[in-house]
Amino acid sequence: MSVCLKDTKKKKKEDRPVKPIKRVPPPEKDDKNKLVKDNKNLTPDQVEALQDGEPAAMAAQQLNPMIIPDFFNNIRNNYYVANKIIWLTSFIEWPLITEVMRRLNFYDDGSKEPITLYLASPGGECDAGWALIDLMEKIKKHGTPIRTICAGSCSSMAAVILAAGSVGERYAFPSSRIMIHQAGVELTGGKLDDIANTTRELQYWTDTTAKYLSKVTKKPVKDIEKELCYDNYMSPTEAKKFGIIDKVDVFMA
């Protein structure tokens, strides 16, 4: 009986030819221009990176300096919200006061953390300013302190808003100026009765200011009325003595 023996030796694997690696040629000038067109809103650095042959994804990761201001604005705004800070630094009129009142409502969260209101204003409309003061008084009754800070100058209606802060929390920068006076208006003409009506309205706002400043400064109304008869400019030290502010300091919330 014959036995067929299989060859137990392992056959050598046949050598397979190695495929050459295809080299991708750098993009031609027309291709580079197409990449730039396909990737809009690129900075000069990103365009240069694309034209130098960098992939679009890598070029897009180049730092865009145009977003840096927005980045810091977001950080600043988040800081103001977290610390309940408001800036009133313009003529007092309804568009500005509406925004300030919206923020006051938002910051009135029932906590004892004070709301900080920075002021640098030449004054403005009486009705808008007194609407803000009414809201400030309501919030203070809720138990939320309102810290007012004069940075630069507070004149006319702005000085009354400064005095409306919580007692002990009214500040003024050392070089600031504070001015109080009667309500006024620039008349360019009109009938006698119209002028008389305007005079009565001005007298109403002047009396309201005198009574309120008497309340917050603990001075008699007649003394306040005398101080309002002219543009009464004060230094921070004089304003503190008068009772409009409590402290002269650079307070940073």
Out of 121, 181, 214, 235, the active site residue is 181
Q: pLDDT at position 76, please?
A: 72
Class of domain 88-248: alpha beta
pTM of the model: 0.72
The full set of domain ranges for the chain reads 30-63, 88-248
* Terminal Cα-to-Cα distance of the chain (whole angstroms): 107
Q: pLDDT at position 59, please?
A: 44
Q: pLDDT tens digits, the chain, 253 residues: what are they?
A: 444 444 444 555 555 665 565 555 555 555 556 555 665 555 665 566 556 655 554 444 444 555 555 666 777 778 888 899 999 999 999 999 999 999 999 999 888 899 999 999 999 999 999 999 999 999 999 999 999 999 999 999 999 999 999 999 999 999 999 999 999 987 667 888 888 999 999 999 999 999 999 999 999 999 999 999 999 999 999 999 999 999 999 988 7
What type of residue sits at position 223?
A: D
Tokens of 237: 């030290």
The CA-atom distances, in angstroms, between 77 and each of 81, 83, 172 are 6, 10, 23
**Is 156 among the catalytic positions?**
yes
- Contact at 8 Å (CB) between 151 and 176? yes
**Is 176 among the catalytic positions?**
no
Out of 121, 156, 166, 214, the active site residue is 156
Q: pLDDT at position 62, please?
A: 46
* Nearest to 171, CA basis, from 242, 240, 233: 240
